Amino acid sequence: MTYRSLPSGSSASAGGSALERLLARVTGALVWGGLMLMGLVFALSLLFWLVLMVLVSLAASLFTGRAPTVAVLWRRYRDMTRQRWPS
């Protein structure tokens, strides 16, 4: 079974009209813009939940009397970075 190869991008765009090339560029820009927008929404949602969980941790520490999880994690991180690592 034989297959035809796809035309290269440069020859396909060179054969198209100016309107087709413009529409291809606009469509490409819209696709990339949509991908960037989805990434931005994802990053903002992660930031939102991170801030929310920090606030919940701080509020819970007021009622339980225990150290906030954020403070415990920060203390462990600081201790870990201060210890000597074997070289």
pLDDT digits (tens, 9 = 90+) for 14-71: 557 999 999 999 999 999 999 999 999 999 999 999 999 999 999 999 999 899 988 8
Residue 54 confidence (pLDDT): 92
Residue 49 confidence (pLDDT): 97
Q: In 1-87, which residue ranges form alpha helices assigned H by DSSP?
A: 9-15, 18-64, 69-82
Residue 29 confidence (pLDDT): 96
Residue 10 confidence (pLDDT): 59
Residue 55 confidence (pLDDT): 93
- The residue behind tokens 């991908």 is 35
- Which phi and psi angles does 5 have, rounded to 5°? -80, 150
Task: List CB contacts of 69: < 8 A, sequence separation 6 or more.
Answer: 57, 61
Residue 15 confidence (pLDDT): 59
> What distance in Å separates the CA atoms of residue 17 and residue 74, rounded to the nearest whole number?
60
Domain range annotation of the chain: 9-82
Measured CA to CA in angstroms, residue 85 lies from 16, 35, 75, 81 at distances of 62, 41, 18, 9
Q: Does the pLDDT at position 78 exceed 90?
A: yes
